[in-house]
Each structure stands twice: as C-alpha cells, then as structure tokens.
C-alpha cells in the first residue's frame, strides 16, 4: 500500500492529493511520478515576518557587467592541500598541473607519499606524471618524468628534487616550478592537449642536464613496465598498473616521448639494477636516464609526450595530431582558449568579491576535469572485454567515473553545461556494460572496480537523461539497469554490480552479511539507502521511456529504505539477516552498518521521499530541531552525530530545511558551510574532491539551487552568491538575478520565475530544458518566504509502508522469577490515527503479551510491555517476535534469561561471530572480532570445556552473534561456585592493558590483584606471537573477522585466595580495552570430605582348633578401612580357615592411616587337634562375644556405614534427587531439558534457543 495523503479524523493530515504538478511541458515527463505536495500550514513551524528589509531589484539588475575571461580566476592550487577542519579525511587531492577539459593527459607534479599525486605541504617532487585522478586511493601517476642537473645517483628511480612554493605557479593551461637539485636548478613548465603534453626544462648549473623516465613508478600498483630507446631523441614504452583501492583492476598505458635535441648518452634500469646502454628493458620497475649537452647556449630542452591505452603506435599518432610542432606557447594558448570557452558557459557579475570569483571558477574548472577522454584520435579505445573498439564518429569514449560520489550532483551539472558530453558519458557506461556484462560502479580506465557501495551508475545515467543528455542508447541502458538490479553474477575480474542482491530482494533490505561488506566493514544499512535511491532513479528513467511496468516495480522498490529505519531511535539502522536491528556502535571509519558515516549522518539520505522521513522524525518541528543540532558542526568526520559536508552522503542536507517550512535556514547553513569549508586556498575544501563531486556542490550552492533528487530534474532553492548569473545553454539561457547578494543580503524574501511570483522552494526541470529567468528578492534577515509546507520540493511517496516497528534494544535481559519490560515503538506512514496492537509472540507462535497503542498526530506510539519470566526458567536465550497489527510489521527480539550478577549477565560485547555473518562482532570497538569457526578449530566452541594451570573453564555457551564477552567497566560478577583460585581468559585491544581486579572472599574481605592481558593481535608488539609475561596462550588462530591474520586468546596466571578463604565474586577494572570471555577456576572439595585419620584398627582374631571345623578368623568392621585377604578384597565378618591366612588393611577414599598403626595380620592354622588356648595376640576364642559365626556380607553390604561423615552416606537413591525424571543435566551455563522427547516448554511460553540458533 502507498503512503496515503487523505485526511483522517484526529490524524496527521497532509492537505494535498497525489496528482502530479504540471508545468507547461512537464506532463510528458511526470506521467508516473506520484508526488506528495506537503502538509498544511497548520503543521508548519512558526513563520518569520520581517518588514522593510526587502531589497528591490534595480532596473539595471539584468545588465550588470559579466566576467568575460573566467580563466583568469582559475587557481588550480585550490584543493591541493588538506581539509584543515576535517578530522576524518585530510587530503583534498586536486592536482595543480595541466589538462584539457576531460583530458586524457593530465600532466602534473607528484610529491612523495601523496596517493593522488600532489600535496601542498610537501617540499619535494618525485616527477611529473601523465595521469591523475582526484580520488581517495593510490591511483594513476603513470610514468613520472623528472629533470635533473648532474648525476642522479646510484638509484635514480628513487631520486627526488626539492622545491618551494615561492618558485611555483599554476593556472589553467600552464604550470611552472623551479626544482632545486644537488648540482643546480631546473626551471620546468608544463602544458597539455587532450591526449598529449608539452614540457620545457631549463637547466642551470655547471653540470649536464638529465631527464629521468620512471616508467615503473606509477602511484598505482605496477605489474609491468617497459622502456625502449628509439634512435637518439625518442623513448617509447608502457606501464601496466592498477589495484585501485585494493580492487582487482588494471590498465595498460602506452607512451611516446620526443625531445627537440639528441641525448648525448643514456642508461636504463630494471628492478633495482642499472642497465648501461641497454636500449630495451622489461620488468616491474623500469626506467631510463637521458643525458643532454645543456650548456649556457643550449640550456633549454623541450619534450613532448603522447599517450594511449591502445598501443604505442596510437600514442605516437595522438602526439603527432595534437602537438605536431615544438611551439610550447601555442599549446598553452590553445588550452586556455578551450577552457575559457567551457567556463564562459556560466558567467557571473564582474564586480563580485574576488575570492568568490576565484572559488567559483576554480570549482567550475575542477568539475570538468573528470571523467577522462579514453579513445584515441582515430576513435580506437580498449574495452572492458580487452578488445579494441572504435567509438562512433563525432563522439567520445570516457573513463574514470566516481559513481558513488558524482551521481548526486556532478552528473546534473555537466549535463546542463554540455549535454553532448554527458550523453557520451552515458553511452560510455552502456558500452562498458555491453563489453563486460554489467554496468560499472566506479570504473577506472577500462576495468571494473567495486569501489564504494550501492549501485550508483544507473542513478547517474538517469540524472543525465533527466537534465537533457538524451543522445545515447537508452533502451540498452535500461536493460542493463534492470539486469544489475535483479540478477546475481560477476564480471571476469570478480566485480559484482549489486552484491547480495538475492537476499536484498528477499528481505527488502541489505542485512549485515558478508556480501554487503564495504571498504571498512559490513554496511547493509547504507547500501539499502543507496539501492533505494538508485531504484527510484531507474523507475523515473523507465517512466520517461514509457515502460510503465518497470517504472511501477522500481517505484515500489525505492521505498525499501524504510526497512532500515528504526522508529524507536528515529534513525537509520543496520539489521541482521533475521531482522533484528543492530544497536549502533563504532566500526572504525564509520559506524557498523554504514559506509564512512554514522546512522544519523545517513538518516537524511532519503532524497526522493523526505515527506515520509519527516514523519518518522516526528514532524517538521522535531525534524527542524534535529537538523539544527546536526548541522551545528559542518565537517565533523565519519564517527560523529553532526554534518560531515566533506563526505558525499551529507551534500544534500542543507536543502532539507526547504521541506519543513524553514527555507531561511537553508541559506544560512549554506553560507556557514562555505565560510568554514570552501575557501580559495590549498586547504580550502572540506574533503576528497572525488573527481569533481565537491567542486560541483560549490557551483550549485553558489548558483542558488541544488539537484536534490537523483534521477529527477527539479532543483531546490537557496540564496545565490552572485548578483547575476547567466547559464549559456546553447539555444537557450538560464538567468539568475539576485541583486544585493554580494552586499550581505543573504535571505530570500521572494522569487519570481519567468516574471510570475513563485512561492515554491524549488524550481522545475523546465528551467533547464526551455530556459528562463529566476529573480530573487533578498534581505539581510530571515523572512517567512518558504515557510508553508505546500512550498516544499516534491516527495515521491508511492510504494511506502503503512507501518514500521522498532525497539531501542535488540535483546533484553530479565532475571528468572522477575518482571521485565520490552520497549517497542511503532510508526505509521501516510495516513495516521487510531490504535495499533502490538503482540509479543514466542517461537511456537503463542502470544505471550499484547498491548494496544494509541498513536500521536504523526503516527507514532511507544510503550514498554511487561513480561514475566517464571522462577524455573533456565538461563539461556529465547527468541521472541514483536508484531504490530497482526504481522503488518515485525522484528525479532532476543530474551536473555540470566542473573544480573552472573558473568553471562555482564556480557556486553559480541567478541566472536561466524565468518558467514561477521557483522555483529565488535571485539575491538572497530567492527572486528574473533572468527567463531577459527575458535572452534582450537577447541573453543560454545559450552566446550578446557583447563589451564590445573584450573577448569567452560567457553561461553552463547548463540552466535550475541554478547559473549565482558568489556570491563567496573562490573561485579559472582562465580558459579566459590573457588580457591581463578584465572581470567580473554585478551586486550590497543596493546597490552592492565587494571585492578578485586576478588571478593567468603569471609567478607577483598583482595585486589593486577589484571594484565596482552593484545589480541600482537601480544608484545608489531609482528609478535609470544604472550606477555604472566599470560599463557590458550589459542592462536590464523584469522579473524577483520583485516589481520593472527589472533590470540590468553589466560592469566592463577589469582589465589588466602589460605582458608574462597573467592565468591570479582569486580572488573574500568578499562574498555580489557575483554574477558570466561574464568578458569579450581574445584573446591567439600569440607566434610577432608581425609579422616584412622589411629587404631582392631586386630584380626584367629581361632585355631587344630584343623577342626572350628578354625576361623574374624575381620572387624572399621569405618574407613578396606581389608584384603591374600590380596583379594574381603568384607568384615568371620570366615572358616585353614593353612596360612594373611589379612591387610588399606584406607578407603577420604581416609588416611596414622603413622605406626598395625595394618597386617597373619596366622598359620595347625592340622592336628590342640586343646590349648590360642595366644591372645594371634586370635582364639569367640571375639564377638555372642558365639555366632558371621557369613560374608551378612550385616554390612560393601560401602555401607553407620558413620554420618562417611562418603557412603552420599549414595542417595537417584529418585531422591531434584529434577529426576526431567532428564536434567547441568553443564555450566547450559541447562538441557528433555521431557518425553520434546523441548521443555517453559511456563512463560518461551522456548530456549540453542547455540546453533534452533529451539531445543
């Protein structure tokens, strides 16, 4: 069912229908767009009334002088430094060198250690390489060229030269620098065409000049390089490199270099060895050194270089076509002219602030450096299938699309400025799919990379199409969009367009499972948000093509984002495969479940349905308050609850105020962000530019608008930064008038569109398709313009859920015999009001509890439902389901029935997780954990037993993915049984860690000891495997769930109680880097069973009647004594005798003999009658005194005793034991009940979950 917008008594009532809004030519593009307009003004925030502050537009506003030579304001040094106010990503990664618009050749200096090439804070240059990419990983930097005065040493491949910014300059079309070498200086200049570069070297010094060609020294991972010296003035070669961000990609670049004079000598090198006078080298790290006769009269050496991704011959052809002569200045001037024409498509008022002009035109320049031309002058290019293809005449094949970064706004900007270029970009991506089988995600050269997450390229193509780039094979594009969104499969290098698509389509969200792993951790929640955006864009693309069925399908799918929103936290949230929400925790670079960000930073990423988002967040007022707090910091980094404008998911946040009746805050925030994070200096951008993503944001924001919904062509409004702007779109113009913008009037008081008053806080796509004039009236203080909710940009609500359910907990702990509360929150979407019934259901489908919740005006209700856990409930885990409205919305909940003071009750960390679903694991607070499988291989599986230091332990018997580790924070836990000694089993994070452990004794005293555990990866430092002193390695694993191989579990040396005392409980230290799995403890013997000393044993009596039948011997019954006759056990009693009889005594278990007592008796009976009395010491007579003869066992069965302290008294009949007949077995924590072959049904209705995740 869709979100509904009809009114309902006492409900949250948007005052509009689902009919699309029509503009003169919009109906053809909006036939399937179900747009919800906004809530009534009664729901809006209070308006702001400001009188007398409106600055009227002067009559000459549309005749202001405009910038004629925008190239003069381009400063390529902007963004070459570090994002000074970003705690997360320091490098901006723009390069200061030269390039044509979208050039293949991007000739620029590289400084050692800068992964994208150049960093302003560095002071040495390693070379001037041919290719660059303003991205966040080691990339390109192919074939560095470095001029040197004099000898470059024994290792020329490592030679670098120093430089100073005082002797460096950069402008569009030309880069200059002075290199300060050991033997002299070299003046270097660079210029470029689309596929070729020109360089000049002026050597100054007493030594000859040399040029180093470092063919095997790309910034990317080099797999092969070749160099060939051809004649006396030419060098050709190639380099194969790749592994962008550790992906399985590669490209081969071919080059040809020519010099305007012969080199006097040369040398080559190969993998660390010089090869003097060898003309060809082939290896990993190859290169050449070329010497020139550079005296005072011949100090300048000119060089030009051509490149190709197809062949050396094509590289030569590109060079011949684009730089046929040695006229360096012509290359510079042609480049400048080309850039000036491109930049002049957007002209701004000439009297604007110079810093604003520099920043604007530099960002417009940097927004058109990528993607890069990929075909040669003859049209040939290498495809994703490694075959040579030829692009259609008059068109261009491109490469290098930062899909995740640039689909949000760069694609739209490039399309309105040059729809022909954008159309070729879209066709390029279609060609990639036809050649490789799938649309790419972040293609580099002619290969797939799976970089970043989501499926951004369909959204990028849809945006190109929406903004007017339509000259490409749209039907094939849609075919591959649908394929990638529905089918599993991979390209030749293992790339998958949508990893985990089967489970995504089944669950309607991306779970925290391995297929949804990003660069840093598993990111199912953010992937779901990204897939939802792309599915929306596919639906809009299909609608524009007239494919209504496909459009309707993807409209439904575009609302799957709601399945990763937890209404209890009012934030986006990761979910497990069984549907439980993952409680937020840091995962290192971003929060668990989110790619390079936190749950709150991603909560706003629902650009196509902000209406439903607003409802989840509590309505416009509540959302405004949350936005105010969130945006109180502008560039807070990846692990913050504030805006990180330096990362792409946050780029659209400022315009969200337009949706809630606070348009003035949009303009305020954008100005504040620009003032703090976008300024014209090397450190003047907030984060990685990512192939123009940040640059495009600035251009849009300064223009007073932003494309808020990928795949759609409308733009949201803010106060422009310039008094007048003109977009020259060929056969039409878009003019933006905002008089007073440069004079401090930064709030919108009114807007007119094509001469008509305009109340909306957005502009339709017809502005770009047909041209038009937008005029802003600006003031110096906030106004009530845009404060009605009807004025908000479109939200697309078709297909969203009626109801979602969540909780602030994924598991709850309740002690047996006590009551507990299970928190639950429900959220209606669209139509609101009435009541919702929430049931708590056990694994057998029985309802254990139910509550009827009454929703508020925004469709939200929260409750804590009481549950009673019977006293006899076994400690363990029980699966429950929270169900709303009879299953309309459901989430699982795990009940943990434990004593609060037990070790299991203290478990607060998922220390281990299965390799198939590692995401719940977070042993180190960075999303890494032990592998459950690797632990099991070492004997540490749930409920397994082990020993160390003669102490016994039992591994936590906890279902996989649930807390099984104590991260110490001062908790006090009781031992299962008192112990005289214990050892702690666990490990530390972030190096060796210590803390005070307090042992509580049964006599009421305490004994503090020092708990020290070694690091779980490197116990004694980087690369170590030995345990620290006083630690014993319990297990060493060869892997973990993370990015390191080895991992350990340790046991401390035993901590012993004072003599005569027992340990009953312990208090852990407060140290979040100490982690405890379990204890190993001593078995304390029952004091009643202490050995009993026997000090006397009555003598065995012998009655010898000289061979008659009256010859007998008597063994007396003595507690704790066992007797042997000639080595065979014999019971106390009187026995007939003949011959020699020997009786010995031995202590029974639990008894000892006192030193010196008699333990052996013997007698040889006579064979003839003898009437004399026997010697008293050797028996004789009736010792029993009653004249009777005792038969063996007649009175006392073996083991019987009348001594109450005897062990024999413990031989109680089994029927007297408690729980007999239930088959109860107590194994540490685990209680297994077997009753008539069926899992024991607890009185509460719960069923216990086994460690395998099944009911038992």
Distance, CA of 1056 to CA of 1062 (rounded, Å): 9
For the segment 1200-1220, the average pLDDT, to the nearest whole number, is: 34
pLDDT confidence band for 586 (50 / 70 / 90): low
Q: Does the pLDDT of residue 828 top 90, yes or no?
A: yes
- pLDDT range class, residue 1110, cuts 50, 70, 90: confident
What is the third-level CATH fold of 83-343? Answer: Beta-galactosidase; Chain A, domain 5 (2.70.98)
Q: How confident is the model at residue 1246 (pLDDT cuts 50, 70, 90)?
A: very low
d(CA 1153, CA 1119): 12
d(CA 9, CA 262): 90
Give CA–CA dist 1068/1077, Å, rounded: 12
> Is the pLDDT reported for residue 585 higher than 90?
no
Q: Is the pLDDT of residue 548 over 80?
A: yes
- Band the pLDDT of 47: cuts 50, 70, 90: very low
Q: Is 649 helix (H, G, I), strand (E, B) or coil?
A: helix
Three-state secondary structure call for residue 252? strand
**CA-atom Rg of the chain in angstroms:** 41
| Res. 623: pLDDT tops 70 | yes
Confidence of residue 1228 (pLDDT cuts 50, 70, 90): very low
Contacts of 343 (CB under 8 A, 6+ apart): 70, 71, 74, 361, 364, 365
CB 874 within 8 A of CB 1256: no
Whole-angstrom distance, CA of residue 1000 vs CA of residue 996: 13
Between residues 18 and 914, which one has the greater pLDDT?
914
What per-residue confidence (pLDDT) applies to 127? 97
1014: its two tokens: 């070694």
Q: Which of 64-68, 123-127, 147-151, 957-961 tops mean pLDDT?
A: 123-127
Predicted confidence at residue 1170, as pLDDT, reads 45
What residue has token string 């489908």?
A: 845
DSSP 631: T
E strand intervals along 834-980 = 835-842, 847-854, 860-868, 876-884, 889-897, 912-913, 930-931, 945-948, 951-954, 966-969, 972-979
Is the pLDDT at 1085 greater than 60, yes or no?
no
pLDDT in tens, 291-318: 998 776 678 999 999 999 999 999 999 9
pLDDT of residue 54 exceeding 90, the answer is no
1238 — pLDDT class (breaks 50, 70, 90): very low
- Of 215-229, 785-799, 1018-1032, which gets the smallest average pLDDT? 1018-1032
Which tokens go with 602? 């991603």
* pLDDT tier for residue 1089 given thresholds of 50, 70 and 90: low
Band (pLDDT 50/70/90 cuts) for residue 807 is very high
In degrees and rounded to multiples of 5, residue 575 shows phi and psi of -135, 145
Instruction: Label residue 162 exposed, middle or buried (CB < 10 Å: 0-12, 13-18, 19+).
Output: middle
pLDDT band at 246 (very low <50, low <70, confident <90, very high): confident
Tell me what pLDDT residue 1084 has. 58
Asked if the model's pLDDT at residue 412 lies above 50, the reply is yes
pLDDT at 207: 78
Token pair recorded at residue 1218: 């408690």
- Encoding tokens for residue 337? 């002219």
pLDDT above 70 for 1212: no
**Mean pLDDT, residues 37-54:** 36
Q: End-to-end alpha-carbon separation of the chain, Å?
A: 38
pTM over 0.85: no
d(CA 711, CA 407): 9
6-10, 707-711, 1222-1226: which is most confident: 707-711
pLDDT at 84: 63
pLDDT tens for 332-388 read: 999 999 999 999 999 999 999 999 999 999 999 999 999 999 999 999 999 999 999
What value does the mean pLDDT of the chain take?
Answer: 86
Delimit the CATH 1.20.1050.60 region(s) of the chain: 375-562
More confident of the two residues 926 and 371: 371
Half-sphere exposure of 1196 (CA within 13 A, CB side): 18
* Residue, of 585 and 493, whose pLDDT is higher: 493
Residue ranges, CATH 2.60.40.10, the chain: 802-897+1218-1256
pLDDT reading at 11 higher than 60: no
Per-residue pLDDT at 157 exceeds 90: yes
Question: 1128: part of which helix (H) or strand (E)?
Answer: strand 1128-1130
- Residue-level pLDDT at 767: 97
Q: Which of left, alpha, beta for 334 (phi over 0: left; psi -120 to 50: alpha)?
A: alpha
Superfamily (CATH H level) for 802-897+1218-1256: Immunoglobulins (2.60.40.10)
Q: Answer yes or no: are the C-beta atoms of 692 and 366 closer than 8 Å.
A: yes
Which CATH number applies to 375-562: 3.90.1150.10, 3.40.50.2300, 1.10.1040.10, 1.20.1050.60? 1.20.1050.60
Residue 61's pLDDT band, with cuts at 50, 70 and 90, is: low
* pLDDT at residue 588, as a whole number: 63
* Per-residue pLDDT, 926: 80
Least confident stretch, 506-510, 696-700, 1128-1132, 1240-1244? 1240-1244
Confidence of residue 1173 (pLDDT cuts 50, 70, 90): very low
**Is the pLDDT assigned to residue 1210 strictly greater than 70?**
no
Angle at the Cα of 509 from the Cα atoms of 648 and 461, rounded to 5 degrees: 45
Tell me how far apart the alpha carbons of residues 395 and 398 are, in angstroms, rounded to a whole number.
10
pLDDT recorded at residue 203: 93
Instruction: Give the pLDDT score at 927.
Output: 79
| Percent of the chain residues topping a pLDDT of 90 | 69
Residue 654 has pLDDT above 90, yes or no: yes
In DSSP notation, 198-215 reads EEEEEEEESS-EEEEE-T
| pLDDT > 70? residue 1020 | yes
Whether the predicted pLDDT of 208 surpasses 90: no
If pLDDT is split at 50, 70 and 90, which confidence band does 1166 have? confident
- pLDDT exceeds cutoff 70 at 813: yes
Residue range 1023-1051, pLDDT digits in tens: 888 999 999 999 999 999 876 679 999 99
Q: pLDDT, tens digit, for every residue of 838-872?
A: 999 988 888 888 999 999 999 999 999 988 888 88
The structure tokens listed for 502 are 């089967």
Range picked from 190-204, 438-452, 586-600, 1108-1122 for highest mean pLDDT? 190-204
Burial class of residue 311 (count of CB atoms within 10 Å of its CB; 0-12, 13-18, 19+): middle
Which pLDDT does position 63 carry in this prediction? Answer: 66
**Could you write out the DSSP letters of every residue in 665-696?**
HHHHHHHHHHHHH--SSTT-SSS--TTTHHHH
Predicted confidence at residue 1197, as pLDDT, reads 33
pLDDT at 1255 over 60: no
Instruction: Write the pLDDT tens digit of every residue in 519-544.
Output: 888 899 999 999 999 999 999 999 99
Start and end residues for every CATH 2.70.98.10 domain found in the chain:
83-343
Structural tokens at position 614: 């607003």
Please write the tens of the pLDDT for every residue from 669-696.
999 999 999 999 999 999 889 999 999 9
| pLDDT average, residue stretch 473-477 | 98
């Amino acid at each position: 069912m869709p979100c509904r917008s009809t009114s309902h008594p006492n409900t949250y009532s948007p005052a509009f229908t689902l009919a699309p809004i029509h503009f003169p030519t919009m109906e053809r593009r909006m036939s399937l767009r179900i747009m919800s307009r906004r809530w009534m003004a009664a729901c809006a925030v209070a308006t702001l009334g400001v009188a007398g502050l409106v600055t009227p537009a002067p009559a000459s506003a549309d005749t202001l002088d405009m910038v004629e030579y925008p190239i003069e304001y381009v400063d390529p040094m902007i963004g070459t430094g570090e994002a000074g106010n970003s705690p997360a990503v320091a490098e901006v990664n723009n390069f200061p060198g030269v390039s044509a618009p979208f050039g293949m050749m991007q000739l620029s200096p590289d400084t050692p250690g800068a992964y994208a090439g150049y960093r302003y804070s560095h002071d040495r240059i390693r070379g001037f390489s041919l290719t660059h990419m303003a991205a966040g990983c080691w990339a390109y930097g192919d074939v560095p060229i470095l001029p040197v005065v004099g000898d470059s040493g024994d290792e020329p491949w490592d030679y670098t030269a120093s430089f100073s910014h005082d002797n460096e300059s950069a402008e569009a079309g030309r880069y200059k620098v002075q290199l300060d070498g050991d033997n002299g200086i070299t003046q270097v200049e660079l210029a470029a065409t689309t596929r070729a570069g020109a360089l000049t070297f002026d050597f100054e010094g007493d030594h000859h000049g040399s040029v180093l060609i470092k063919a095997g020294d790309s910034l990317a991972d080099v797999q092969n390089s070749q160099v060939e010296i051809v004649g006396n003035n030419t060098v050709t070669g190639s380099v194969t490199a790749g592994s962008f961000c550790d992906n399985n990609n590669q490209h081969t670049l071919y080059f040809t270099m020519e010099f305007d004079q012969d080199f006097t000598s040369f040398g080559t090198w190969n993998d660390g060895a010089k090869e003097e006078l060898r003309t060809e080298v082939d290896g990993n790290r190859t290169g050449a050194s070329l010497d020139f006769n550079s005296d005072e009269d011949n100090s300048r050496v000119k060089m030009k270089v051509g490149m190709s991704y197809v062949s050396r011959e094509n590289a030569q052809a590109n060079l011949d076509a684009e730089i046929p002569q040695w006229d360096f200045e012509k290359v510079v001037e042609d480049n400048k002219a080309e850039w000036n024409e491109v930049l002049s498509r957007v002209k701004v008022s000439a009297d604007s602030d110079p810093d604003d002009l520099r920043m604007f035109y530099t960002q417009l320049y940097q927004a058109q450096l990528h993607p890069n031309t990929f075909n040669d002058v003859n049209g040939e290019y290498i495809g994703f299938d490694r075959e040579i293809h030829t692009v259609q005449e008059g068109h261009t094949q491109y490469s290098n699309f930062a899909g995740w970064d640039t689909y949000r706004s760069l694609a739209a900007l490039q399309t309105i400025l040059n729809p022909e270029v954008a159309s070729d970009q879209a066709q390029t991506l279609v060609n990639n799919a036809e050649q490789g089988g799938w649309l790419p995600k972040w293609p580099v050269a002619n290969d797939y990379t799976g970089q970043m997450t989501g499926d951004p390229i369909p959204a990028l193509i849809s945006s190109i199409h929406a903004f007017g780039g339509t000259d490409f094979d749209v039907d094939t594009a849609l075919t591959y969009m649908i394929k990638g969104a529905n089918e599993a499969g991979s390209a030749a290098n293992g790339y998958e367009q949508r990893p985990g698509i089967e489970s995504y389509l089944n669950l309607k969200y991306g779970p925290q499972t391995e297929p949804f792993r990003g660069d840093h951790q598993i990111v199912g929640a953010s992937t779901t948000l990204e897939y939802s955006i792309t599915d929306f864009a596919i639906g809009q693309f299909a609608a524009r093509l007239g494919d209504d069925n496909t459009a309707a399908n993807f409209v439904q799918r575009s609302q799957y984002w709601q399945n990763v929103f937890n209404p209890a936290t009012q934030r986006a949230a990761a979910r497990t495969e069984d549907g439980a929400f993952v409680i937020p925790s840091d995962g290192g670079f971003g929060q668990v479940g989110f790619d390079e960000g936190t749950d709150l930073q991603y909560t706003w990423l629902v650009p196509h349905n902000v209406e439903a988002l607003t409802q989840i967040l509590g309505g416009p007022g509540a959302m405004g308050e949350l936005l105010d707090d969130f945006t109180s910091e502008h560039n807070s980094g990846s692990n913050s609850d504030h805006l990180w404008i330096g990362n792409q998911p946050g780029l659209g946040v400022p315009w969200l105020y337009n949706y809630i009746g606070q348009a003035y805050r949009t303009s305020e925030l954008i100005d504040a962000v620009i003032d703090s994070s976008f300024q014209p200096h090397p450190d003047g951008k907030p984060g990685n530019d990512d192939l123009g993503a940040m640059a495009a944001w600035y251009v849009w924001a300064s223009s007073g608008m932003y494309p808020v919904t990928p795949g759609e062509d409308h733009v949201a409004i803010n106060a422009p930064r310039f008094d007048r702007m003109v977009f020259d779109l060929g056969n039409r113009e878009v003019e933006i008038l905002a008089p007073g913008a440069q004079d401090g009037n930064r709030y919108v008081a009114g807007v007119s569109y094509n001469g008509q008053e305009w109340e909306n806080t957005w502009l339709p796509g017809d502005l770009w398709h047909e041209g038009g004039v937008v005029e802003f009236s600006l003031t110096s203080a906030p106004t009530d313009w845009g404060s009605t909710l009807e004025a908000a940009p479109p939200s697309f609500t078709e297909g969203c859920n009626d109801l979602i359910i969540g909780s602030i907990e994924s598991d709850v702990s309740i002690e047996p015999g006590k009551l507990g509360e299970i928190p639950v929150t429900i959220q209606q979407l669209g139509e609101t009001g009435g009541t919702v019934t929430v049931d708590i259901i056990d694994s057998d489908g029985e309802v254990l509890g139910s509550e009827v919740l009454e929703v508020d005006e925004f469709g939200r209700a929260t409750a804590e439902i009481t549950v009673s856990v019977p006293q006899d409930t076994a400690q363990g885990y029980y699966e429950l389901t929270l169900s709303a409205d009879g299953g309309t919305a459901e989430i699982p909940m795990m009940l943990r029935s434990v004593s609060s003071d037990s070790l299991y009750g203290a478990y607060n960390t998922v220390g281990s997780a299965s390799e198939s679903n590692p995401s719940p694991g977070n042993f180190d607070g960075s999303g890494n954990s032990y592998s459950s499988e690797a632990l099991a291989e070492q004997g540490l599986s749930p409920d397994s037993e082990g020993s160390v230091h003669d102490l016994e332990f039992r591994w936590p018997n906890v279902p996989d993915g649930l807390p099984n580790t104590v991260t110490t924070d001062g908790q006090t836990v009781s031992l299962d049984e008192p112990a005289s000694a214990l050892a702690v089993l666990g490990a530390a994070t972030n190096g060796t860690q210590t803390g005070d452990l307090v042992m509580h004794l049964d006599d009421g005293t305490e004994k503090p000891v020092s708990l020290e555990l070694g690091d779980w990866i490197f116990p004694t430092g980087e690369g170590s495997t030995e345990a620290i002193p006083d630690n014993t390695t319990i297990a060493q694993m060869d892997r973990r769930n993370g990015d390191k191989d080895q991992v350990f579990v340790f046991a401390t040396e035993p901590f012993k109680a004072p003599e005569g005392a027992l340990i009953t409980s312990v208090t852990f230290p407060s140290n979040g880097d100490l982690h405890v799995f379990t204890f190993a403890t001593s078995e304390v013997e029952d004091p009643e069973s202490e050995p009993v000393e026997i000090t006397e044993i009555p003598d065995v009596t012998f009655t010898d009647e000289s061979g008659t039948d009256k010859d007998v011997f008597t063994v007396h019954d003595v507690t704790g004594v066992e007797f042997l006759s000639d080595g065979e056990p014999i019971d106390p009693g009187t026995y007939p005798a003949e011959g020699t009889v020997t009786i010995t005594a031995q202590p029974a278990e639990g008894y000892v003999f006192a030193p010196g007592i008699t333990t052996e008796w013997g007698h040889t009976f006579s064979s003839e009658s003898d009437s004399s009395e026997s010697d008293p010491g050797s028996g004789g007579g009736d010792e029993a005194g009653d004249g009777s003869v005792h038969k063996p066992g007649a009175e006392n069965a073996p083991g019987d005793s009348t001594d109450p302290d005897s062990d024999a008294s413990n031989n109680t009949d089994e029927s007297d034991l408690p729980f007999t007949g239930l088959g109860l077995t107590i194994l540490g924590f685990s209680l297994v009940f077997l009753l008539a072959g069926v899992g024991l049904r607890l009185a509460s209705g719960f069923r216990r979950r086994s460690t395998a995740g099944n009911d038992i």
